[in-house]
Every structure is written in structure tokens, then in C-alpha cells.
Structure 1
């Protein structure tokens, strides 16, 4: 088992005996983060970013790690999230394998990786760990918390569990819970991993690794991260070269779209821990903001006291359909803050926030520049 930690990652220790919502505690746990820009003397220019499932804390390049980050075009000097103005903290989710404590980390009680002995993980745990990180770094009040995909769920949990921690919120391609379709997809992903004999009840290693399960899981995910319209426009029914098709044998890869999925799944294969994938994906399925707050999601959101909020969705997103962002914006608006809802027409589906900066950048930049 391996953790995949970017070279400029820094760490905040969680309190010893960090309690998990579903039971169990963590000892000697930590959260990985990177920061961008400088805090103002008053510390009133801090933005927290909560990420999607498989993302690390390296959101953008900086002097300590000049390699491009996962949100490179959105974050940096003069970019929509302008680090000449804002001090940005991006955390790696608790339960991940990118520096924060998760199933691939060493359990101090045994000296071995946690594997399936890691406690049951919830979005609420991820939110609490992120809130602790912010406070441990010396900040009691955020200018904004930005959450994308799974991070959007985490941001909503953080706002309701830690009222007053953030003045404003940007929620992108997320919702107050997962819908049946996305739960079904992630169920198939987990099944692909668990049914691979090499998974071995979570006791795999680099020589006995569930390659087939992870490849299938990643391909299933990638099919839902983009839209059918994009697949049509990019690939149509174009075939792979005869050499590539022959290399795969009977019933192997034939179409270019198959080659695309295979190439990117192979790249992901040894860059994410399978057990972490299982834990994080299940936490998304189980999250329900209303249930978490002991009420309805609408009531929980109406109780928030934000100065303003921006909710963005994409009409081609099938994982978190646009109706979820519209409902989220309406519920946030019931609480009194100025809420803007944007339905973008990007053809790139759920992953549009990663690649369609031309559409996402201007509204985020405007939100962060007006009214401060």
C-alpha cells in the first residue's frame, strides 16, 4: 500500500483521539494541505478549498512545487481565484491517500497500514478535519469556503457544523445528498474493486494489486464525469488504429472512445489507493445534509448566516444534475443571503469545473471581487 503525497505538502495534526461520526477514533492522524498567496495582517482574506474524491492538495503551481495543479487555470496570481488578493488553503480529504490519514496510512497501534481497520468515514468527518485545520493554522473566520463535487458536500457540512466559520460560500457541481444514479455508479465501482481477487479483503500490496478492479472502477467513473454529447463530438464512431486493436486480442479495444478510457484509467491505476477509493465513495453515498443536521436540508440551509453565496451547476452533469444545484440555491436563499445561481451550458459534464475555465472563471472571479 502506498500514499501519494505531493512534494510541497504540509501537515496539521488532528487532536489525539479524533472522533469519527459513526464511531471509533483516530490517534496520531493528520491533514495534508497546501497554501497559496499570503494572509492579510488581519487574516480576513482566507479561502478554503475542499476537493473532489481523488484530488490532492496541490491545486496550483507555486515556488515550492512548480508542477501544475489540478485547478491550475483557476487559481494563482491574476486568475479567477487571485492569490495576489487571497490566501488560499486547499486540504486533502481525511480518508484519502494523498497525505491525509486514511486506509493506506500507518496505524500507530500496529505499525501496519490501517487497511479496512480504518474507522467508517463520513463527509462530516472530512468537514470537521478541515475546520480543525483552518483553526490550527490560526484562522477563526474564512472569507469563503469553496467546495467542488464531493468537496461541495463537505463545504455544506462544514458550514452547518461550524456556524460562523465562513462569511461566504461557492458551491460547484454538488448537492445536499447523492441521487440513486450516482449511488448506483459508485456501487458498481466498489464492486469491481472488491470482486477483484487481488483486492484480498483490502490486503493487497504492490505485487498483488487489484488492477482489473481499479481499471473498471475508473472507467465507470470517467464515463459519468463527462457527457454523452462530448463523447459524440470528440470521438463519434472513430476506430483505433489496426495495430492498437490487434494488440488487444479478440473483443478488445476497437473504438477511440475505448482507447481514451483505457489510457486515462491506466494513468490513474497506481496513483490512488483502492481502499481509500472505497471509503471516500461510500461516504458520498451515505451523506444526507438534512439527516446530518437532524432536520430537512432546506431547514438546515435556511439557518445559515452567510453574507452571500454562489451556486454553479452544469446542464450536462449526470452525477449531480442541475436540479440539485437549483434546489440548493433556493434553500440557501431562504436564509437571507444574496444567492446567485448559475446554470452553465458546458458540454463537459461533471468535470466541466476542471476544464471549462472560460465558463467557470468569470463568475467565480466576479463573486470574489464584488462586495468585499
Structure 2
């Protein structure tokens, strides 16, 4: 399979071997990243962005790539993450197919793609890889680490595993552990991919790509990324053109179906199925409660969060998010406060569900801008 690497992406070599949390190690691995702004002489103005499952490192336009990034309204001169003040780094997740080493990369030990020979991947592995990138840039302590969705998990792991690595933290639509509903959805997504005959136990290529499985997985994901309120307001019960020929029984009839189909088809050939499986499962495994197992209460996620030490934190969520529901961001703020941080919880009345941080910039932009302006 092809890796999808934006122009201008830079690469950081990880130490070899790079030990993985659940066993195994990577040799000759790398992490893709991009930067914006200028690191000051004190090296204390760095902001790290860790992403959700599918984004690459190209969060916004920069000198290496003039194309619009996936978080373009948030990163840049005069924007909420202001590159006139901050030196911004965005990393592509370890295990991805967009520049960082993952199942779609070549295994140097065999000369073939890793596929399912890639070691079991955890969120903590991604956090350790991102930490190595930051240290490789000569940054001892971040001014802030910002994580959204899966990146919110990665940011918490980063802070827990590397005490003192950041002064502040913004957690956007993230969580400290996977909840049963989210696990169930991701399980169905993985099953859709694995049951596609073309997946073939991970042994597919560009000509025998498990397109149907990836389409179904992506459709299911998109349904949970937005809210019923938005689906109603955006599409209602509007039907497709009734004059079009009926190509197949039970085919697409409503505009919302056509939207999901188009969205899925744009995605499927732009992401590697095995990488999707690995990253999805890493989120299901993530649980900061395991780091509190030795506490008297044992296995409490708030106790796990309380082990993190930052000066200030902000946990933001959307009221309509069903995938990473609002109580998880509230829990993050409470747990970090229990660890001594000045931590605030900000629920935003956005109708756009989990994906609100990618589209509802009128609400999320000011929240991020105000926090960064205060540190």
C-alpha cells in the first residue's frame, strides 16, 4: 500500500530499538512532523499538537507546503494558536500511514511491509514517539501540549510518562479511558474491515484493497463524529433526485446517505486499513486507571489523572459529542485539579458533535486563544 505523506513533511528518527509498551520493538523507525513559527532563544515557547486517528502532520500552511491544513483556521499568524508567538510542532501518530512508521511501512528486518507483523500499538507508544521528536528539536519543556480526540489521550499519556515535559495542557474532546460505547463502535469498524474478503488477514495491495470494509468503517465513524441534531438540521428527510434511474434495489435514496457515501469514498483510498485497525485498537486499550492500580482505591481513572503534574489545564468538549462525551472532559479537569493543576472545564454548546473542534471554530477558536494568551 502507498503511504500518504504531504509535501514539506520532516522526519525524526526514533532511537533503535524503540521499545513498545505491549512488547516488541521497532528498528529504524521515524515520526513525521511539521513546524510553524520560531523557537525563541530560551526554547520555552513551543506548543505541541498531537492529533486524532486520521490527520497527518500538516495542520496548516507553512513554508514547506502552501496547501491548506486540516486545522488551518486554528494555526498561523494571528490565529488562536498564534505562530507569531509560539513555535508550533505537529506530529503524525506513530502507527499511521502518513509519514510515521506503521503497518504500511517497510520492515527493515524483512524488506517487506510490516502489515500485521507490526508490534501491538498503544497510545503510550505514540506519546513516547512524540516526546522523542520534541527532545530532538532541543526542547526540554513545552509551553503547552494540545491534543484533540485520540490526541487528547496521547497528550495525557505524554504528560504522565514524562513528568515536567509541559507547563500547560489543552485537552479537546479527549478522554482518559475508552468507554464501552466508543469501544463498541470501533469494534464494529474493525470487524467491517476484517470481514471484507480483500482484507485477507492484512495481505492486500492497491489492486485488492478492502474498499467495502473501509467504506462501512468510515461511514459508521462519520455518523458518530456528528450529532443527530446536526444530521436533522443539515439533511432532514430530503431525498435524492427522484428522476434518476434506480440502479439497484435498496440503493441510496436520501441525501444523508449520499453524503456518507461520498465522504467514505474520498477517505478509503487515502488511509491504510491495517493502520486504521492498529490505531483504533490503541484507543480501546487506553486507560489511565491502570496507572493508579497501586493506589488504595485501585484502578480509579481520576487517581491516574492526579499523577499528572502541570501548572494549568483546560478541558474542552461539545455538549453533543456521543463518541467522547462531555463527562470525560469534565473528568479530565477534575483529575488534573486533584494533581494540583489549575484546571478548568469548558462545555461548549455546539451542535456538531465530536467533530466540532474541526468545524465550529467560532466556539473552539476563542477558547484556545484565550487560554494560550493567559500563559
If the length of structure 1 is used for normalisation, what is the TM-score?
0.98
Counting only pairs closer than 5 Å after superposition, residues 109-128 of structure 1 correspond to structure 2 as 109-128=109-128
CA contact (8 A) 2:8 2:64 kept: yes
Residue 323 of structure 1 is matched in structure 2 by 327
Counting only pairs closer than 5 Å after superposition, residues 112-151 of structure 1 correspond to structure 2 as 112-151=112-151
Matched, 1:214 2:218: no
Matched, 1:153 2:153: yes
Structure-2 change in CA distance of 1:247 and 1:166 (3 Å): farther
Counting only pairs closer than 5 Å after superposition, residues 354-369 of structure 1 correspond to structure 2 as 354-369=358-373
Counting only pairs closer than 5 Å after superposition, residues 172-251 of structure 1 correspond to structure 2 as 172-242=172-242, 246=245, 248-251=247-250
Counting only pairs closer than 5 Å after superposition, residues 258-277 of structure 1 correspond to structure 2 as 258-277=257-276
Give structure 1 regions of 4+ aligned residues with deviation exceeding 2 angstroms: 292-297
- Does the residue aligned with 2:55 lie in a helix, a strand or coil? coil
- Does the residue aligned with 1:266 lie in a helix, a strand or coil? helix
- Does the residue aligned with 1:242 lie in a helix, a strand or coil? coil
- Does the residue aligned with 1:237 lie in a helix, a strand or coil? coil
Residue 284 of structure 1 is matched in structure 2 by 283
Matched, 1:302 2:310: no
Cα distance, 1:301 vs structure 2: 2.1
1:248 and 1:77 mapped to 2: Cα distance? 50
Cα distance, 1:145 vs structure 2: 0.4
1:190 and 1:358 mapped to 2: Cα distance? 34
Q: Which of 314, 331, 340 lines up with 2:344 in the alignment?
A: 340
2:307 and 2:288 mapped to 1: Cα distance? 13
Cα distance, 1:314 vs structure 2: 0.7
Cα distance, 1:247 vs structure 2: 5.7
Residue 254 of structure 2 is matched in structure 1 by 255
What are the superposed Cα offsets for residues 190-222 of structure 1, whole Å, 9 maximum, x if unpaired?
000000000010000010010100000000000
- Does the residue aligned with 1:198 lie in a helix, a strand or coil? coil
Counting only pairs closer than 5 Å after superposition, residues 89-128 of structure 1 correspond to structure 2 as 89-128=89-128
- Does the residue aligned with 1:69 lie in a helix, a strand or coil? coil
Cα distance, 1:272 vs structure 2: 0.2
Structure 1: where are the runs of 5+ without partners? none
Residue 80 of structure 1 is matched in structure 2 by 80
Q: Which of 305, 309, 318 lines up with 1:314 in the alignment?
A: 318
Residue 40 of structure 1 is matched in structure 2 by 40
CA RMSD of the aligned region, Å? Answer: 1.0
- Does the residue aligned with 1:257 lie in a helix, a strand or coil? helix
Residue 14 of structure 1 is matched in structure 2 by 14
CA contact (8 A) 1:160 1:293 kept: no
2:175 and 2:195 mapped to 1: Cα distance? 30
Alignment length (residue pairs): 370
If the length of structure 2 is used for normalisation, what is the TM-score?
0.97
What are the superposed Cα offsets for residues 2-40 of structure 1, whole Å, 9 maximum, x if unpaired?
110011110000001100011001000000000011111
Matched, 1:24 2:28: no
1:27 and 1:243 mapped to 2: Cα distance? 58
2:29 and 2:246 mapped to 1: Cα distance? 45
- Does the residue aligned with 1:171 lie in a helix, a strand or coil? strand
What are the superposed Cα offsets for residues 30-63 of structure 1, whole Å, 9 maximum, x if unpaired?
0000001111111110000000000100000112
1:36 and 1:340 mapped to 2: Cα distance? 27
